[in-house]
Amino acid sequence: MTSSTPSTLSPPSPPSISPVPSSPTPASSDPGMASLSSRSPSVAGALAAPISPPSGQGEARPTPQRIYVILNPRAAGGRAEERWQQLELPLRTRFPFLTVLKTSRPQEEASLGQRAVREGADLVIAAGGDGTFSGVVDGVLSEPPMTHASPPALAVLPVGSGSDFARGLGLPRDPAEVIPRIAAGAPRKLDVGRLTFYTETPPRLRYFVNQSYLGFGAKVVRRVNRGRGAGHEGAYTRAVFPELLHHRPLPVTLEGDGAPSGTFGLSNLVVAIGRYSGGGMLSSPRSDPSDGAFDMIAVGPVSRLRLLLNLSKFRKGRHLELKTVTVWKGPTLQVSPQGGGADDRLVEADGDIVGSLPVVYDILPGALNFWS
């Protein structure tokens, strides 16, 4: 990233979460990173302010002219490339001046998203699964826009296996049916989550659009991504059983409005913007991706057997009333571990392991200009 483009972010609110050490100014063009290094030494004060969206549901911007597709050919267990070959001609028929960028290595979506912004994209279409779209969003929001007062619009072509973000928005499962919607679409403002790994030097930001897991769910995602069945439907369910053998609650403190007080024995935590995860699990049935708040769902200390017996409720969205489940809404959350090892402190977001505890979550209302 380059380092001198002006920020479009407004100053943050006064601090309200516990202090962390200050750090040197990072050499980064991410306006959130610049704010992190220059503010008072507290997590909330270190958090960059929300990206200021225009008022209303959509951006007053002409029909997109510079359109980029960022394709992850390895999504869906490598089947995304084959799916793309069937979709490229219909897409080019509607958008003749299409620029296609393909990832060649894991985690390249963010840098390609940044490239699209630097080259003046009006619309960036992520062709892949949840991880692909999340990576593109992370890159786009980390790169100051060159030709607009706000980042370009984003769309998703769901050629991955899970596509839980698209599922939660009611988009067709068939990507061929999504193309006409993109062609005739309009922008819609959706929320974005931001993770701040404030003990890293310099503090690191990671944006996400759907859900983030801590505890048991994060370990399951790691097992899925390491396994041969990654990208295939049912991979999440198959990874649950071996991970149950190693399950143990992690003592943490949770700081934020509505969060349980004191040290909390955490089996699983979902910090949600969208409703679905894990290839169709209704893990946060009350979530609204445009209400300006996270839905937090924490599972307290629970035995392996009880966790196993409750999995079907979790998949069907009937877990919120369980006695071991605590539910609340809020715009921020700080999670600090009070024990456990590195294996217990994983932080997952949109299907990828993105860091380790401690972490601060904050929500950016309406920061995603979603085109559909």
Which of 160-164, 338-342, 354-358 comes out lowest in average pLDDT? 160-164
Check: CB of residue 29 under 8 Å from CB of residue 5: yes
Please provide the DSSP assignment of 193-224 as one string.
EEEEETTSSS-EEEEESSEEEEEHHHHHHHHH
Of 214, 190, 216, nearest to 368 by C-alpha is 190
Is 70 exceeded by the pLDDT of residue 265?
Answer: yes
230 band by pLDDT with thresholds 50, 70 and 90: low
- Domains along the chain with CATH numbers: 196-366 (2.60.200.40)
80 band by pLDDT with thresholds 50, 70 and 90: very high
Dist CA 372 CA 370 (whole Å): 7
Dist CA 202 CA 37 (whole Å): 8
**Alpha-carbon distance values, 166 to 133, 205, 279 (Å):** 10, 24, 11
Side chain identity at residue 336, one-letter code: S
Is 50 exceeded by the pLDDT of residue 53?
Answer: no
Residue found under tokens 């990576």: 135
* Residue 229: predicted pLDDT: 55
| pLDDT 10s digits, 136-191 | 999 999 988 766 667 899 999 999 888 999 999 999 999 999 999 999 988 999 99
pTM for this prediction: 0.83
Cross-sheet strand order for the sheet of 294-299:
325-330, 294-299, 268-272, 211-215, 346-349, 352-356
Sign of CA dihedral 113, 117, 119, 125: positive
Is 80 exceeded by the pLDDT of residue 281?
Answer: yes
* Residue 239: predicted pLDDT: 87
SS3 label, residue 234 = coil
Residues 6+ apart with CB under 8 A from 74: 80, 81, 103, 231
Which of 40-49, 52-61, 126-135, 183-192 comes out lowest in average pLDDT? 40-49
- The secondary element (H helix, E strand) that includes residue 191 is strand 187-197
Check: CB of residue 359 under 8 Å from CB of residue 333: no
